[in-house]
A and B are shown apart, each in its own frame.
Chain A
Amino acid sequence: MIELSDNELVFRFPEIHSEAHLTINFQRTLRIPDDQRDYPLPPGLGRFPLFHVDDYAAELPAPWARRGGVFLPMHQAEGMWISFKGDYPFAVKVATGKINAVSGETWTETLTGEPQDYLVVPEQPWLDGYNVGHGRIRQFVATPLGQDETVEEQLTGEAAHGGIQILAYPMKAAYFEHFFGQRNQFWEGVCSAPTAMSPDMGLAAGGLMRQRIHEDPFGLACWEQATTSRCFVHILNSRHFRQVTGYATPQEPPSAELYSMAGLPWFELNDADHAALEGAPPLQQVESLKTRRVREGKPSPEDSATIHPDQIVGLDASKGRPVDSRF
């Protein structure tokens, strides 16, 4: 079951284990420059607000009500990252427009080991973008569906889904007891064709960032694939937010340049001892939002000038709870 609480999705599996909880939220952040340099991790600037689709169904496109789930508002070309919290291990699949953000393959509801198409949390505390390999990702950046810019549209030629899809598989209770009978030891030991006026958004590939997607240290057999929970997270174009919800539109985050000029910190997870996945070939072929717009002669997102973050805070992956430090 999934509950929406304080702008977080809370996944619980009481039928598997009383401790099987996973909390996921979506963090507002800076859009990093898309200039082929790779950047450290930008900060979390607070959670995106989340709403039940059912509460605003009359104001939203009909397919949203059919899919259920939740929605969040994003500005044009706004960045985001996904935060995972909990002490119980989960395998988590994340897709955008039903394209897997780790493997680049189309959505399936089973776990694949070769190539690995899921994250293992809480070992992987964050996901900031698409797995392009060599310890790097391309940032999740919002763009309206229907402009052939999202990863979904580039890989499938269609703007059928948009949004973000999440599927969580808890660790089987017997494996949990086996690995975590002595708590906290394990982690240290291993390592409809939308138009431009549509409120529907999807995610495109932004600038490059240093982030390793960790290999599963447990193995496929450990994950409970018969009991899972999934959620469709729609992305509402912020231009439609007030009309749909009646609330004031959230402010836009500062630019990466302004943030850096203010001397505020960027982050880096010290996780070199964790094996990292190879980049996903389909995702490596995707054009970044800026490259595509420049090639098509369209205005590219502003604030994409190169910056040189000099305040980089290292966070230690082995200390168990680095998540709260990235704010």
Chain B
Amino acid sequence: MCTMWYTVPMEFGKYLRSERERLLASDPRFSVRQLAQRVGVEPAYLSKVERGVTAPPSEATIRALAHELDQDPDMLLALAGKVSAELQAIIRKRPELFAELLRSLKDLPDHAILRVVREVRDGDW
């Protein structure tokens, strides 16, 4: 449990910082100060998040960061050890079914998982 608490903020912060610095190389709007301002947090807080000395921020802030950094919000939430409220609601609605589904899919390769997304049905024309 202790390891988890330590690792998640570190990994999340490290990733956040690397993506921000990559964008900063060509666009000064990605300084800690300016990015923090756009997502509505204090620069000192964002800096702590990046260094992994504090827990990842709220879902809303992570979504705002994902938007600013052009990242997939689900991926960034997962890196922060969170599952989006939207996905939680989907699972809560049919918990047994989704638990079973996720367990059955956990070891499948990506291309096989893509097969279970809903396809547009092609008929006779």
Residues of chain A having any CB pair with chain B under 8 Å: 1-4, 9, 12, 14-15, 18, 52-54, 65-70, 98, 161, 165, 229-232
Contact A68 B114 (CB under 8 A): no
Contact across chains for B125 and A4 when beta carbons are under 8 A apart: no
Beta-carbon contacts under 8 Å, B102-125 to A: 110-111, 114-115, 117-125
**B111 contact set on A, CB distance < 8 A:** 14-15, 18
CB distance from B56 to the nearest CB of A (A): 26
B110 touches A68 (CB 8 A): no
Is there contact, CB below 8 Å, between A69 and B117? no
Is A232 in contact with B119, judged by CB distance below 8 angstroms?
no
Contact of B117 among A3, A67, A229 (CB under 8 A): A3
Closest residue of chain B to A231, judged by CB? B120
A4 and B123 CA atoms in complex are apart in Å by 16
Interchain CB contact under 8 A, A70 and B114: no
Distance, CA A35 to CA B117, complexed state (A) = 46
CB distance from A249 to the nearest CB of B (A): 23
User: Given A1-B114, A14-B111, A15-B111: A54 and B125 within 8 A (CB)?
Assistant: no
Partner of A14, one of B110, B118, B123, B125: B110
Contacts of B110 in A (CB 8 A): 14, 18
Q: Which of B110, B111, B120, B125 has the most CB of A within 10 A?
A: B120
Contact indicator A12/B120 (Cβ below 8 Å): no
Binding site for A on B (CB under 8 A): 110-111, 114-115, 117-125
Is the CB–CB distance between B122 and A68 below 8 Å?
Answer: yes
Cα distance, A2 to B123, chains bound together (Å):
13
Query: Which residue of chain B has its CB nearest to the CB of A160?
Result: B125
- Please give the distance in Å from B119's CB to the nearest CB on chain A: 5
> Known contacts A14-B110, A14-B111, A15-B111; is A69 also within 8 Å of B119 by CB?
no
Residues of A with C-beta under 8 A to B120: 2-4, 9, 52, 68-70, 231
The docked-state distance in angstroms from the alpha carbon of A230 to that of B119 is 12
Which of A3, A65, A67 lies in contact with B119, CB distance below 8 A? Answer: A3
Residue of A nearest to B123 (CB): A68
Q: A12: which B residues are within 8 A, CB to CB?
A: 114
User: Is there an interface contact between B123 and A232, defined as CB atoms closer than 8 Å?
Assistant: yes
Residues of A within 8 A of B125 (CB): 66-69, 98, 161, 165, 232
Instruction: Tell me whether A52 and B121 are in contact (CB under 8 A).
Output: yes
Say yes or no: B123 contacts A67, CB within 8 Å. Answer: yes
A161–B124 CA distance with the chains assembled, in angstroms: 12
Residue of B nearest to A68 (CB): B123
CB-defined contacts of B121 to chain A, threshold 8 Å:
52-54, 68-69
How far is the CB of B125 from the nearest CB of chain A, in Å? 4
Determine if A1 and B123 form an interchain contact, defined as CB atoms under 8 angstroms apart.
Answer: no
B117 / chain A contacts, CB cutoff of 8 Å: 1, 3
Q: Quote the shortest CB–CB distance from A164 to chain B (angstroms).
A: 12
How far apart are the CA atoms of A161 and B110 in the complex, in Å?
36
Assuming A65-B123, A68-B123, A69-B121, what are 15 further A-B pairs, CB within 8 angstroms? A3-B119, A3-B120, A4-B120, A9-B120, A12-B114, A18-B111, A52-B118, A52-B121, A53-B121, A66-B124, A67-B125, A68-B124, A69-B120, A165-B125, A229-B122
